Protein backbone atom coordinates (compact mmCIF):
# COMPACT_ATOMS: atom_id res chain seq x y z
CA UNK A 1 0.00 0.00 0.00
CA UNK A 2 1.48 3.34 -1.04
CA UNK A 3 1.82 6.43 1.12
CA UNK A 4 -0.77 8.31 -0.93
CA UNK A 5 -3.22 5.46 -0.46
CA UNK A 6 -2.61 5.43 3.28
CA UNK A 7 -3.01 9.19 3.55
CA UNK A 8 -6.31 9.14 1.66
CA UNK A 9 -7.77 6.23 3.56
CA UNK A 10 -6.43 7.48 6.91
CA UNK A 11 -7.89 10.94 6.39
CA UNK A 12 -11.37 9.55 5.69
CA UNK A 13 -11.32 7.00 8.52
CA UNK A 14 -9.76 9.36 11.09
CA UNK A 15 -11.91 12.39 10.39
CA UNK A 16 -15.13 10.37 10.42
CA UNK A 17 -14.10 8.74 13.71
CA UNK A 18 -13.27 12.10 15.32
CA UNK A 19 -16.57 13.65 14.24
CA UNK A 20 -18.49 10.67 15.63
CA UNK A 21 -16.68 11.02 18.97
CA UNK A 22 -17.31 14.77 19.23
CA UNK A 23 -20.92 14.60 18.05
CA UNK A 24 -21.89 11.89 20.52
CA UNK A 25 -20.01 13.55 23.38
CA UNK A 26 -21.62 16.93 22.72
CA UNK A 27 -25.14 15.51 22.70
CA UNK A 28 -24.53 13.48 25.87
CA UNK A 29 -23.14 16.59 27.61
CA UNK A 30 -26.17 18.62 26.53
CA UNK A 31 -28.68 16.03 27.77
CA UNK A 32 -26.82 15.60 31.06
CA UNK A 33 -26.64 19.38 31.48
CA UNK A 34 -22.87 19.08 31.86
CA UNK A 35 -21.02 21.95 30.14
CA UNK A 36 -17.94 20.83 32.06
CA UNK A 37 -18.10 17.53 30.16
CA UNK A 38 -17.90 19.04 26.66
CA UNK A 39 -14.51 17.78 25.38
CA UNK A 40 -13.23 20.73 23.32
CA UNK A 41 -14.13 23.42 25.89
CA UNK A 42 -12.62 21.22 28.61
CA UNK A 43 -9.33 20.99 26.71
CA UNK A 44 -9.53 24.75 26.11
CA UNK A 45 -10.02 25.45 29.82
CA UNK A 46 -7.08 23.18 30.64
CA UNK A 47 -4.94 25.02 28.09
CA UNK A 48 -5.83 28.39 29.61
CA UNK A 49 -5.11 27.15 33.12
CA UNK A 50 -1.65 25.96 32.06
CA UNK A 51 -0.84 28.96 29.87
CA UNK A 52 1.93 31.30 30.95
CA UNK A 53 1.22 34.98 31.48
CA UNK A 54 3.34 35.86 28.44
CA UNK A 55 1.26 33.62 26.16
CA UNK A 56 -1.95 35.01 27.64
CA UNK A 57 -0.80 38.57 26.97
CA UNK A 58 0.16 37.64 23.40
CA UNK A 59 -3.29 36.12 22.78
CA UNK A 60 -5.12 39.17 24.13
CA UNK A 61 -2.84 41.57 22.25
CA UNK A 62 -3.11 39.76 18.91
CA UNK A 63 -6.68 38.45 18.99
CA UNK A 64 -8.48 40.62 21.55
CA UNK A 65 -11.88 39.30 22.63
CA UNK A 66 -11.60 36.62 19.89
CA UNK A 67 -8.77 34.88 21.75
CA UNK A 68 -11.01 32.03 22.95
CA UNK A 69 -12.43 31.50 19.46
CA UNK A 70 -8.90 31.22 18.08
CA UNK A 71 -8.01 28.77 20.84
CA UNK A 72 -11.02 26.55 20.13
CA UNK A 73 -10.32 26.46 16.39
CA UNK A 74 -6.68 25.71 17.11
CA UNK A 75 -7.73 22.75 19.24
CA UNK A 76 -10.00 21.54 16.44
CA UNK A 77 -7.17 21.79 13.92
CA UNK A 78 -4.84 19.75 16.14
CA UNK A 79 -7.63 17.23 16.66
CA UNK A 80 -8.07 16.75 12.89
CA UNK A 81 -4.35 16.12 12.44
CA UNK A 82 -4.38 13.65 15.34
CA UNK A 83 -7.46 11.97 13.87
CA UNK A 84 -5.80 11.44 10.48
CA UNK A 85 -2.85 9.76 12.20
CA UNK A 86 -5.23 7.52 14.16
CA UNK A 87 -7.01 6.56 10.92
CA UNK A 88 -3.75 5.69 9.15
CA UNK A 89 -2.63 3.57 12.12
CA UNK A 90 -5.97 1.74 12.26
CA UNK A 91 -5.68 0.69 8.60
CA UNK A 92 -2.28 -0.91 9.28
CA UNK A 93 -3.20 -2.40 12.66
CA UNK A 94 -6.59 -1.84 14.27
CA UNK A 95 -5.16 -1.97 17.78
CA UNK A 96 -2.81 0.92 16.99
CA UNK A 97 -5.76 3.09 15.97
CA UNK A 98 -7.73 2.08 19.05
CA UNK A 99 -4.72 2.93 21.22
CA UNK A 100 -4.58 6.39 19.63
CA UNK A 101 -8.31 6.83 20.26
CA UNK A 102 -7.78 5.81 23.88
CA UNK A 103 -5.08 8.49 24.25
CA UNK A 104 -7.45 11.04 22.75
CA UNK A 105 -10.16 10.01 25.25
CA UNK A 106 -7.69 10.08 28.16
CA UNK A 107 -6.75 13.69 27.33
CA UNK A 108 -10.44 14.63 27.31
CA UNK A 109 -11.07 12.90 30.65
CA UNK A 110 -8.05 14.54 32.25
CA UNK A 111 -9.07 17.96 30.93
CA UNK A 112 -12.59 17.49 32.30
CA UNK A 113 -11.47 16.37 35.75
CA UNK A 114 -8.86 19.15 35.96
CA UNK A 115 -11.61 21.78 36.06
CA UNK A 116 -12.35 23.03 39.59
CA UNK A 117 -16.09 22.39 39.34
CA UNK A 118 -15.84 18.93 37.73
CA UNK A 119 -17.86 15.97 39.03
CA UNK A 120 -17.24 12.29 38.39
CA UNK A 121 -20.13 11.98 35.93
CA UNK A 122 -18.77 14.85 33.81
CA UNK A 123 -16.47 12.30 32.15
CA UNK A 124 -19.44 10.37 30.72
CA UNK A 125 -19.70 12.43 27.49
CA UNK A 126 -16.06 11.73 26.63
CA UNK A 127 -16.26 8.05 27.60
CA UNK A 128 -19.48 7.39 25.66
CA UNK A 129 -18.23 9.36 22.66
CA UNK A 130 -14.99 7.36 22.61
CA UNK A 131 -16.80 4.00 22.83
CA UNK A 132 -19.10 4.81 19.93
CA UNK A 133 -16.12 6.15 17.97
CA UNK A 134 -14.28 2.86 18.56
CA UNK A 135 -17.04 0.98 16.71
CA UNK A 136 -16.88 3.52 13.89
CA UNK A 137 -13.10 3.19 13.71
CA UNK A 138 -13.30 -0.61 13.57
CA UNK A 139 -15.90 -0.58 10.78
CA UNK A 140 -14.40 2.10 8.55
CA UNK A 141 -10.80 0.94 8.96
CA UNK A 142 -11.90 -2.59 8.03
CA UNK A 143 -13.62 -1.39 4.86
CA UNK A 144 -10.67 0.82 3.93
CA UNK A 145 -8.25 -2.05 4.60
CA UNK A 146 -10.20 -4.26 2.23
CA UNK A 147 -10.24 -1.56 -0.43
CA UNK A 148 -6.51 -0.99 -0.37
CA UNK A 149 -5.75 -4.72 -0.20
CA UNK A 150 -8.02 -6.07 -3.01
CA UNK A 151 -6.86 -4.82 -6.40
CA UNK A 152 -7.91 -6.07 -9.83
CA UNK A 153 -5.39 -8.61 -11.07
CA UNK A 154 -4.22 -9.44 -7.54
CA UNK A 155 -4.24 -13.08 -6.43
CA UNK A 156 -6.75 -14.16 -3.81
CA UNK A 157 -5.64 -15.58 -0.47
CA UNK A 158 -4.22 -19.14 -0.70
CA UNK A 159 -6.93 -21.74 -0.46
CA UNK A 160 -9.68 -19.30 -1.46
CA UNK A 161 -11.47 -19.26 -4.81
CA UNK A 162 -10.39 -16.49 -7.12
CA UNK A 163 -12.66 -13.49 -7.55
CA UNK A 164 -13.80 -12.31 -10.97
CA UNK A 165 -10.87 -11.41 -13.17
CA UNK A 166 -8.31 -12.84 -10.71
CA UNK A 167 -5.96 -15.76 -11.16
CA UNK A 168 -6.73 -18.96 -9.29
CA UNK A 169 -4.46 -20.13 -6.51
CA UNK A 170 -1.48 -22.10 -7.87
CA UNK A 171 -2.36 -25.77 -8.15
CA UNK A 172 -6.11 -25.19 -8.13
CA UNK A 173 -8.31 -25.46 -11.24
CA UNK A 174 -9.96 -22.30 -12.39
CA UNK A 175 -13.72 -22.17 -12.07
CA UNK A 176 -15.93 -21.92 -15.11
CA UNK A 177 -15.57 -18.51 -16.69
CA UNK A 178 -12.37 -17.76 -14.78
CA UNK A 179 -8.92 -17.18 -16.17
CA UNK A 180 -6.53 -20.05 -15.61
CA UNK A 181 -3.28 -19.56 -13.72
CA UNK A 182 -0.57 -18.18 -15.96
CA UNK A 183 1.44 -20.97 -17.51
CA UNK A 184 -1.35 -23.56 -17.04
CA UNK A 185 -3.50 -24.95 -19.88
CA UNK A 186 -7.06 -23.76 -19.94
CA UNK A 187 -9.82 -26.27 -19.25
CA UNK A 188 -12.70 -26.73 -21.66
CA UNK A 189 -14.82 -23.58 -21.76
CA UNK A 190 -12.12 -21.49 -20.05
CA UNK A 191 -10.08 -18.69 -21.46
CA UNK A 192 -6.37 -19.12 -21.62
CA UNK A 193 -4.40 -17.00 -19.18
CA UNK A 194 -2.13 -14.38 -20.57
CA UNK A 195 1.50 -15.24 -20.44
CA UNK A 196 2.53 -12.12 -18.55
CA UNK A 197 1.26 -10.55 -15.33
CA UNK A 198 -1.99 -8.61 -15.32
CA UNK A 199 -1.47 -4.84 -15.43
CA UNK A 200 -1.78 -3.24 -11.98
CA UNK A 201 -4.46 -0.61 -11.44
CA UNK A 202 -3.47 3.02 -10.74
CA UNK A 203 -6.17 3.39 -8.09
CA UNK A 204 -5.94 1.97 -4.56
CA UNK A 205 -9.42 0.45 -4.91
CA UNK A 206 -11.23 -1.16 -7.87
CA UNK A 207 -13.28 1.09 -10.09
CA UNK A 208 -16.87 0.49 -11.07
CA UNK A 209 -15.77 -0.07 -14.66
CA UNK A 210 -13.39 -2.82 -13.57
CA UNK A 211 -16.12 -4.65 -11.70
CA UNK A 212 -18.60 -4.21 -14.53
CA UNK A 213 -16.17 -5.83 -16.92
CA UNK A 214 -15.41 -8.70 -14.55
CA UNK A 215 -17.10 -12.07 -15.03
CA UNK A 216 -19.84 -12.81 -12.53
CA UNK A 217 -18.46 -14.63 -9.50
CA UNK A 218 -19.90 -17.51 -7.60
CA UNK A 219 -23.11 -16.44 -5.86
CA UNK A 220 -21.69 -17.48 -2.51
CA UNK A 221 -18.84 -14.94 -2.69
CA UNK A 222 -19.11 -11.44 -1.15
CA UNK A 223 -18.90 -8.53 -3.59
CA UNK A 224 -15.75 -6.45 -3.72
CA UNK A 225 -15.71 -3.32 -1.53
CA UNK A 226 -16.98 -0.25 -3.32
CA UNK A 227 -15.04 2.99 -3.28
CA UNK A 228 -18.21 4.98 -3.92
CA UNK A 229 -20.12 3.24 -1.12
CA UNK A 230 -17.21 3.82 1.28
CA UNK A 231 -17.04 7.53 0.52
CA UNK A 232 -20.81 8.02 0.57
CA UNK A 233 -21.15 6.16 3.88
CA UNK A 234 -18.29 8.15 5.38
CA UNK A 235 -19.78 11.41 4.17
CA UNK A 236 -23.20 10.53 5.57
CA UNK A 237 -21.79 9.53 8.97
CA UNK A 238 -19.60 12.67 9.07
CA UNK A 239 -22.57 14.85 8.14
CA UNK A 240 -24.81 13.27 10.77
CA UNK A 241 -22.04 13.72 13.34
CA UNK A 242 -21.64 17.41 12.47
CA UNK A 243 -25.39 17.94 12.75
CA UNK A 244 -25.34 16.08 16.06
CA UNK A 245 -22.48 18.23 17.32
CA UNK A 246 -24.27 21.40 16.25
CA UNK A 247 -27.49 20.19 17.84
CA UNK A 248 -25.71 19.39 21.09
CA UNK A 249 -24.10 22.82 21.11
CA UNK A 250 -27.47 24.43 20.43
CA UNK A 251 -29.09 22.49 23.29
CA UNK A 252 -26.25 23.47 25.61
CA UNK A 253 -26.54 27.15 24.71
CA UNK A 254 -30.32 27.50 24.71
CA UNK A 255 -31.23 26.43 28.17
CA UNK A 256 -33.68 28.44 30.19
CA UNK A 257 -31.00 30.82 31.53
CA UNK A 258 -31.08 33.32 28.66
CA UNK A 259 -34.87 33.46 28.65
CA UNK A 260 -34.96 33.95 32.43
CA UNK A 261 -32.26 36.63 32.25
CA UNK A 262 -34.20 38.58 29.64
CA UNK A 263 -37.52 38.27 31.48
CA UNK A 264 -36.17 39.00 34.97
CA UNK A 265 -37.83 41.97 36.67
CA UNK A 266 -35.57 43.71 39.13
CA UNK A 267 -36.67 45.87 42.07
CA UNK A 268 -36.09 49.59 41.97
CA UNK A 269 -32.93 50.79 43.69
CA UNK A 270 -33.14 52.06 47.22
CA UNK A 271 -30.31 54.41 46.25
CA UNK A 272 -30.59 55.46 42.56
CA UNK A 273 -27.59 56.52 40.55
CA UNK A 274 -27.11 60.29 40.31
CA UNK A 275 -28.58 61.73 37.13
CA UNK A 276 -26.12 62.49 34.37
CA UNK A 277 -25.34 66.21 34.39
CA UNK A 278 -25.55 68.20 31.14
CA UNK A 279 -22.37 67.90 29.08
CA UNK A 280 -21.44 64.39 30.19
CA UNK A 281 -21.17 63.24 26.59
CA UNK A 282 -19.40 65.61 24.18
CA UNK A 283 -20.93 63.77 21.19
CA UNK A 284 -17.81 64.03 19.05
CA UNK A 285 -17.76 61.52 16.16
CA UNK A 286 -15.36 58.70 16.99
CA UNK A 287 -15.22 59.52 20.72
CA UNK A 288 -16.27 56.71 23.07
CA UNK A 289 -19.74 57.36 24.47
CA UNK A 290 -19.96 58.01 28.20
CA UNK A 291 -22.13 54.90 28.66
CA UNK A 292 -20.79 51.73 27.06
CA UNK A 293 -23.66 49.59 25.72
CA UNK A 294 -23.80 46.06 27.13
CA UNK A 295 -23.23 44.60 23.67
CA UNK A 296 -20.00 46.59 23.28
CA UNK A 297 -18.66 46.15 26.79
CA UNK A 298 -15.30 44.39 26.81
CA UNK A 299 -15.11 40.78 27.97
CA UNK A 300 -11.90 39.25 29.34
CA UNK A 301 -12.18 36.06 31.41
CA UNK A 302 -11.02 32.44 31.44
CA UNK A 303 -14.37 30.82 30.56
CA UNK A 304 -14.52 28.87 27.28
CA UNK A 305 -18.10 27.81 28.08
CA UNK A 306 -20.11 30.49 29.87
CA UNK A 307 -21.43 29.34 33.25
CA UNK A 308 -25.22 29.25 32.99
CA UNK A 309 -26.76 29.51 36.44
CA UNK A 310 -30.48 29.57 37.07
CA UNK A 311 -31.26 32.25 39.66
CA UNK A 312 -33.22 29.67 41.64
CA UNK A 313 -30.05 27.57 41.91
CA UNK A 314 -27.63 30.40 42.74
CA UNK A 315 -26.20 30.75 46.24
CA UNK A 316 -23.43 32.88 47.66
CA UNK A 317 -21.47 31.65 50.67
CA UNK A 318 -19.48 34.16 52.76
CA UNK A 319 -17.19 32.37 55.19
CA UNK A 320 -13.62 32.04 56.44
CA UNK A 321 -12.33 34.61 58.92
CA UNK A 322 -15.80 35.86 59.87
CA UNK A 323 -17.89 35.87 63.03
CA UNK A 324 -20.85 34.19 61.30
CA UNK A 325 -21.12 32.42 57.97
CA UNK A 326 -23.71 33.78 55.54
CA UNK A 327 -25.47 31.93 52.71
CA UNK A 328 -27.59 34.04 50.38
CA UNK A 329 -30.02 32.97 47.68
CA UNK A 330 -30.82 35.17 44.70
CA UNK A 331 -34.17 36.08 46.29
CA UNK A 332 -32.32 37.05 49.47
CA UNK A 333 -30.09 39.29 47.40
CA UNK A 334 -32.97 41.05 45.66
CA UNK A 335 -34.69 41.70 48.98
CA UNK A 336 -31.74 43.71 50.20
CA UNK A 337 -31.55 47.51 49.61
CA UNK A 338 -30.04 47.84 46.15
CA UNK A 339 -27.57 50.58 45.18
CA UNK A 340 -27.20 51.99 41.69
CA UNK A 341 -24.06 53.77 40.55
CA UNK A 342 -21.97 54.71 37.52
CA UNK A 343 -18.71 52.75 37.58
CA UNK A 344 -15.93 52.28 35.02
CA UNK A 345 -14.25 48.86 34.87
CA UNK A 346 -10.82 48.25 33.38
CA UNK A 347 -8.86 45.07 32.69
CA UNK A 348 -5.26 44.86 33.87
CA UNK A 349 -4.38 43.49 30.40
CA UNK A 350 -5.36 46.79 28.82
CA UNK A 351 -2.32 48.27 27.04
CA UNK A 352 -1.77 52.01 26.93
CA UNK A 353 -4.76 53.46 25.02
CA UNK A 354 -6.27 49.96 24.79
CA UNK A 355 -9.93 48.89 24.40
CA UNK A 356 -10.44 46.80 27.54
CA UNK A 357 -12.31 49.43 29.51
CA UNK A 358 -15.97 50.43 29.71
CA UNK A 359 -18.41 52.47 31.74
CA UNK A 360 -21.87 51.33 32.85
CA UNK A 361 -24.64 51.93 35.36
CA UNK A 362 -24.57 49.02 37.82
CA UNK A 363 -27.23 47.87 40.29
CA UNK A 364 -26.46 45.66 43.26
CA UNK A 365 -26.32 45.07 46.99
CA UNK A 366 -23.67 46.68 49.13
CA UNK A 367 -20.73 44.31 49.60
CA UNK A 368 -19.60 46.32 52.61
CA UNK A 369 -22.99 45.77 54.26
CA UNK A 370 -22.77 42.01 53.72
CA UNK A 371 -19.26 41.86 55.15
CA UNK A 372 -20.37 43.82 58.21
CA UNK A 373 -23.16 41.29 58.78
CA UNK A 374 -20.70 38.42 58.51
CA UNK A 375 -18.30 40.21 60.84
CA UNK A 376 -14.88 40.05 59.19
CA UNK A 377 -12.28 39.23 61.80
CA UNK A 378 -9.18 41.29 62.50
CA UNK A 379 -6.23 40.07 60.45
CA UNK A 380 -8.22 39.17 57.35
CA UNK A 381 -6.84 41.25 54.48
CA UNK A 382 -8.14 39.41 51.40
CA UNK A 383 -11.51 38.39 50.03
CA UNK A 384 -10.89 35.27 47.94
CA UNK A 385 -13.85 35.33 45.55
CA UNK A 386 -14.66 32.21 43.52
CA UNK A 387 -16.62 32.02 40.28
CA UNK A 388 -18.91 29.16 39.31
CA UNK A 389 -16.27 28.07 36.78
CA UNK A 390 -13.54 27.93 39.45
CA UNK A 391 -11.79 31.23 38.69
CA UNK A 392 -10.69 33.19 41.77
CA UNK A 393 -9.97 36.86 42.40
CA UNK A 394 -8.36 38.41 45.46
CA UNK A 395 -9.87 41.69 46.68
CA UNK A 396 -8.33 43.76 49.50
CA UNK A 397 -10.72 43.75 52.47
CA UNK A 398 -9.88 47.38 53.25
CA UNK A 399 -10.83 48.52 49.72
CA UNK A 400 -14.13 46.62 49.79
CA UNK A 401 -15.08 48.22 53.13
CA UNK A 402 -13.75 51.79 52.86
CA UNK A 403 -17.10 53.33 51.84
CA UNK A 404 -16.93 53.22 48.04
CA UNK A 405 -19.84 51.56 46.21
CA UNK A 406 -18.44 48.02 46.15
CA UNK A 407 -21.37 46.05 44.73
CA UNK A 408 -22.63 42.52 44.47
CA UNK A 409 -24.15 43.50 41.14
CA UNK A 410 -27.27 42.02 39.52
CA UNK A 411 -27.90 44.52 36.69
CA UNK A 412 -26.02 46.53 34.09
CA UNK A 413 -27.36 49.58 32.27
CA UNK A 414 -30.91 48.97 33.46
CA UNK A 415 -31.13 45.26 32.56
CA UNK A 416 -30.25 42.02 34.33
CA UNK A 417 -26.60 41.11 33.84
CA UNK A 418 -25.93 39.46 30.48
CA UNK A 419 -24.76 35.86 30.90
CA UNK A 420 -21.34 36.77 29.49
CA UNK A 421 -21.00 39.49 32.12
CA UNK A 422 -21.77 37.37 35.16
CA UNK A 423 -25.49 36.58 35.42
CA UNK A 424 -27.01 36.23 37.94
CA UNK A 425 -24.48 38.07 40.17
CA UNK A 426 -20.94 39.43 40.05
CA UNK A 427 -18.68 41.80 41.93
CA UNK A 428 -18.06 45.39 40.83
CA UNK A 429 -15.57 47.38 42.91
CA UNK A 430 -14.43 50.78 41.60
CA UNK A 431 -10.75 51.62 41.59
CA UNK A 432 -9.34 48.09 41.16
CA UNK A 433 -8.45 46.20 38.02
CA UNK A 434 -10.96 43.51 37.17
CA UNK A 435 -8.82 40.49 38.01
CA UNK A 436 -8.80 41.47 41.68
CA UNK A 437 -12.28 42.96 41.97
CA UNK A 438 -14.82 41.97 39.30
CA UNK A 439 -15.40 38.25 39.80
CA UNK A 440 -18.22 37.11 37.48
CA UNK A 441 -20.68 34.32 38.35
CA UNK A 442 -19.52 34.67 41.94
CA UNK A 443 -20.66 31.89 44.31
CA UNK A 444 -18.16 32.02 47.19
CA UNK A 445 -16.37 34.73 49.18
CA UNK A 446 -13.80 33.65 51.75
CA UNK A 447 -12.32 36.16 54.18
CA UNK A 448 -8.67 35.14 54.39
CA UNK A 449 -5.13 36.53 54.06
CA UNK A 450 -2.82 37.12 51.13
CA UNK A 451 -0.23 34.99 52.91
CA UNK A 452 -2.57 32.01 53.13
CA UNK A 453 -4.18 32.03 49.69
CA UNK A 454 -3.31 33.14 46.17
CA UNK A 455 -5.97 34.01 43.59
CA UNK A 456 -5.90 32.64 40.05
CA UNK A 457 -3.53 35.11 38.36
CA UNK A 458 -1.08 35.68 41.23
CA UNK A 459 1.01 32.50 40.79
CA UNK A 460 1.05 33.34 37.08
CA UNK A 461 3.08 36.47 37.75
CA UNK A 462 0.49 39.21 38.37
CA UNK A 463 0.42 41.47 41.42
CA UNK A 464 -1.69 40.52 44.43
CA UNK A 465 -3.18 43.99 44.72
CA UNK A 466 -3.78 46.17 41.69
CA UNK A 467 -5.31 49.65 42.01
CA UNK A 468 -6.21 51.19 38.65
CA UNK A 469 -3.57 53.60 37.37
CA UNK A 470 -4.36 57.15 36.25
CA UNK A 471 -4.50 56.89 32.47
CA UNK A 472 -5.91 58.51 29.34
CA UNK A 473 -6.65 57.54 25.75
CA UNK A 474 -6.85 59.42 22.43
CA UNK A 475 -9.90 58.29 20.44
CA UNK A 476 -9.76 60.91 17.66
CA UNK A 477 -8.02 61.53 15.40
CA UNK A 478 -6.97 57.97 14.64
CA UNK A 479 -4.13 58.84 12.30
CA UNK A 480 -5.67 56.86 9.45
CA UNK A 481 -6.81 59.81 7.38
CA UNK A 482 -4.65 62.88 6.56
CA UNK A 483 -5.51 66.25 8.09
CA UNK A 484 -5.87 69.39 5.99
CA UNK A 485 -3.58 72.24 7.01
CA UNK A 486 -5.42 75.38 8.09
CA UNK A 487 -8.44 73.53 9.49
CA UNK A 488 -9.46 73.09 13.11
CA UNK A 489 -9.88 69.53 14.39
CA UNK A 490 -10.92 67.98 17.67
CA UNK A 491 -8.38 65.92 19.56
CA UNK A 492 -10.55 63.96 21.99
CA UNK A 493 -10.57 60.92 24.21
CA UNK A 494 -11.30 59.61 27.69
CA UNK A 495 -9.33 59.61 30.94
CA UNK A 496 -9.85 57.60 34.10
CA UNK A 497 -8.69 57.36 37.71
CA UNK A 498 -11.49 55.42 39.39
CA UNK A 499 -12.32 56.48 42.94
CA UNK A 500 -9.93 59.40 42.64
CA UNK A 501 -11.47 61.29 39.73
CA UNK A 502 -9.92 63.16 36.80
CA UNK A 503 -8.97 66.79 37.46
CA UNK A 504 -7.23 67.73 34.19
CA UNK A 505 -6.11 66.43 30.79
CA UNK A 506 -3.34 68.00 28.71
CA UNK A 507 -2.35 67.56 25.08
CA UNK A 508 0.91 68.27 23.30
CA UNK A 509 1.83 68.14 19.63
CA UNK A 510 5.30 67.31 18.29
CA UNK A 511 6.90 67.65 21.75
CA UNK A 512 5.61 71.21 22.06
CA UNK A 513 4.17 72.74 25.24
CA UNK A 514 1.35 70.98 27.07
CA UNK A 515 -2.06 72.49 26.34
CA UNK A 516 -5.08 72.23 28.62
CA UNK A 517 -7.99 70.20 27.26
CA UNK A 518 -11.64 70.87 28.02
CA UNK A 519 -13.29 68.28 30.30
CA UNK A 520 -16.81 66.89 30.06
CA UNK A 521 -19.04 66.73 33.13
CA UNK A 522 -19.19 63.54 35.23
CA UNK A 523 -21.67 62.24 37.83
CA UNK A 524 -18.94 61.11 40.23
CA UNK A 525 -15.32 60.07 40.73
CA UNK A 526 -15.74 56.40 39.78
CA UNK A 527 -16.19 56.90 36.02
CA UNK A 528 -14.04 57.83 33.10
CA UNK A 529 -14.23 61.38 31.78
CA UNK A 530 -14.36 62.64 28.22
CA UNK A 531 -12.04 65.46 27.14
CA UNK A 532 -11.36 67.50 23.99
CA UNK A 533 -8.70 69.89 22.71
CA UNK A 534 -9.46 72.03 19.63
CA UNK A 535 -6.35 72.15 17.45
CA UNK A 536 -5.98 74.82 14.81
CA UNK A 537 -3.76 73.04 12.30
CA UNK A 538 -1.48 75.97 11.37
CA UNK A 539 1.57 73.82 10.68
CA UNK A 540 3.58 72.80 7.64
CA UNK A 541 2.71 69.51 5.93
CA UNK A 542 4.32 66.49 7.55
CA UNK A 543 3.90 63.92 10.29
CA UNK A 544 3.07 65.02 13.85
CA UNK A 545 2.90 63.00 17.07
CA UNK A 546 0.04 63.90 19.42
CA UNK A 547 0.29 62.85 23.10
CA UNK A 548 -1.99 63.20 26.11
CA UNK A 549 -1.69 62.94 29.88
CA UNK A 550 -4.18 63.05 32.76
CA UNK A 551 -3.98 64.39 36.29
CA UNK A 552 -6.24 62.97 38.98
CA UNK A 553 -7.83 64.76 41.92
CA UNK A 554 -5.04 63.66 44.28
CA UNK A 555 -2.61 65.75 42.16
CA UNK A 556 -0.88 62.77 40.55
CA UNK A 557 -0.08 63.18 36.84
CA UNK A 558 0.05 60.22 34.50
CA UNK A 559 3.62 59.03 34.02
CA UNK A 560 5.46 58.99 30.71
CA UNK A 561 7.22 55.76 31.71
CA UNK A 562 6.15 53.10 29.21
CA UNK A 563 5.40 49.84 31.03
CA UNK A 564 3.57 46.73 29.79
CA UNK A 565 0.41 45.48 31.50
CA UNK A 566 2.22 42.83 33.54
CA UNK A 567 2.39 42.73 36.54
CA UNK A 568 0.05 45.51 37.70
CA UNK A 569 -1.18 47.49 34.68
CA UNK A 570 0.30 49.42 31.77
CA UNK A 571 1.54 53.00 31.95
CA UNK A 572 2.78 55.69 29.57
CA UNK A 573 1.45 58.51 27.43
CA UNK A 574 -1.04 57.55 24.72
CA UNK A 575 0.02 58.86 21.33
CA UNK A 576 -1.14 58.97 17.71
CA UNK A 577 0.79 60.06 14.62
CA UNK A 578 -1.14 62.20 12.14
CA UNK A 579 -0.23 63.34 8.66
CA UNK A 580 -0.89 66.98 7.74
CA UNK A 581 -1.29 67.79 4.06
CA UNK A 582 -1.60 71.12 2.28
* Residue 462: pLDDT band with limits 50, 70, 90: very high
List, for residues 157-214, the tens digit of each pLDDT value: 434 444 444 444 444 444 444 444 444 444 444 444 444 444 433 333 444 444 444 4
What's the pLDDT at 211?
42
For 42-56, 143-157, 474-488, which range has the lowest pLDDT when averaged over its residues?
143-157
Backbone phi, psi, residue 495, to 5°:
-135, 150
What's the pLDDT at 192?
45
List, for residues 103-124, the tens digit of each pLDDT value: 888 888 887 787 666 678 888 8
* Residue 3: pLDDT band with limits 50, 70, 90: low
Beta carbons of 49 and 135 less than 8 angstroms apart: no
Between 307 and 287, residue with greater pLDDT: 287
Between 153 and 365, residue with greater pLDDT: 365
What's the pLDDT at 1?
46
| 3-class state of residue 200 by DSSP | coil
Q: Give the list of residues 6+ apart from residue 288 with CB closer than 8 angstroms, or none.
A: 473, 475, 493, 494, 530
User: 545 in the Ramachandran plot: left (φ > 0), alpha (ψ -120 to 50) or beta?
Assistant: beta
What's the pLDDT at 133?
84
The DSSP 8-state label assigned to residue 341 in this structure reads: E
Strand 542-552 relative to strand 488-496, pairing: unpaired
Q: 521, exposed or middle or buried, with CB in 10 Å at 0-12, 13-18, 19+? A: middle
Beta carbons of 69 and 361 less than 8 angstroms apart: no
What's the pLDDT at 470?
98
Backbone phi, psi, residue 391, to 5°:
-65, 145
With pLDDT > 70 as the criterion, what percentage of the chain qualifies? 76
- DSSP letter for each residue of 95-135: HHHHHHHHHHHHHHHHHHHTSTT--GGGGHHHHHHHHHHHH
Q: Which domains does the chain have, with CATH numbers?
A: 3-149+228-253 (no CATH), 294-448 (3.90.420.10), 471-581 (2.60.40.650)
Reported pTM: 0.67
Beta carbons of 355 and 298 less than 8 angstroms apart: yes
Cα separation, 559 vs 212, whole angstroms = 83
Cα separation, 309 vs 297, whole angstroms = 21
What's the pLDDT at 258?
80
pLDDT of 361 > 50? The answer is yes
Between 227 and 363, residue with greater pLDDT: 363
| 3-class state of residue 489 by DSSP | strand
Q: Give the list of residues 6+ apart from residue 78 with CB closer than 8 angstroms, or none.
A: none
What's the pLDDT at 104?
81
* Residue 327: pLDDT band with limits 50, 70, 90: very high
Q: Give the list of residues 6+ apart from residue 437 with CB closer than 8 angstroms, or none.
A: 393, 395, 399, 427, 428, 429, 431
* Mean pLDDT in residue range 132-148: 80
For 151-165, 317-331, 427-441, 455-469, which range has the lowest pLDDT when averaged over its residues?
151-165
List, for residues 405-416, the tens digit of each pLDDT value: 999 999 999 999
> How many Cβ atoms from other residues are within 10 Å of residue 77's Cβ?
10
What's the pLDDT at 204?
39
Between 567 and 215, residue with greater pLDDT: 567
The DSSP 8-state label assigned to residue 159 in this structure reads: T
Between 488 and 216, residue with greater pLDDT: 488
Beta carbons of 460 and 435 less than 8 angstroms apart: no
Cα separation, 29 vs 24, whole angstroms = 9
* Residue 44: pLDDT band with limits 50, 70, 90: low
Amino acid sequence: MGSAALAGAGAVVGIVTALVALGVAQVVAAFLGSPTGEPIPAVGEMSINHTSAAVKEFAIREFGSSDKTVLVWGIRAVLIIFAIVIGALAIRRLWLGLAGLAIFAAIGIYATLSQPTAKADDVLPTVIGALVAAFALRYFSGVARALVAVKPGQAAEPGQPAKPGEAAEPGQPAKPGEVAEPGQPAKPGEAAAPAGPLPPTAAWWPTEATKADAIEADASQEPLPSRRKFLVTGAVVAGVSLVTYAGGSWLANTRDVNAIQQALKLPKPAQPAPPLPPGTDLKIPGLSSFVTPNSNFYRVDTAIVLPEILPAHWQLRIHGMVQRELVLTFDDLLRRPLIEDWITLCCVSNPVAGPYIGNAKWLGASLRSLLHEAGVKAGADQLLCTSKDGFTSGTPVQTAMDGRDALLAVAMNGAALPVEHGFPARLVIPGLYGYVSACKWVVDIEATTYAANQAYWVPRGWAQQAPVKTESRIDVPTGVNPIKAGKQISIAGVAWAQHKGIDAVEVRIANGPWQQARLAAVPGIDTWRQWVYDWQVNVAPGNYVIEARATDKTGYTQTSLQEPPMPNGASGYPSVTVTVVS
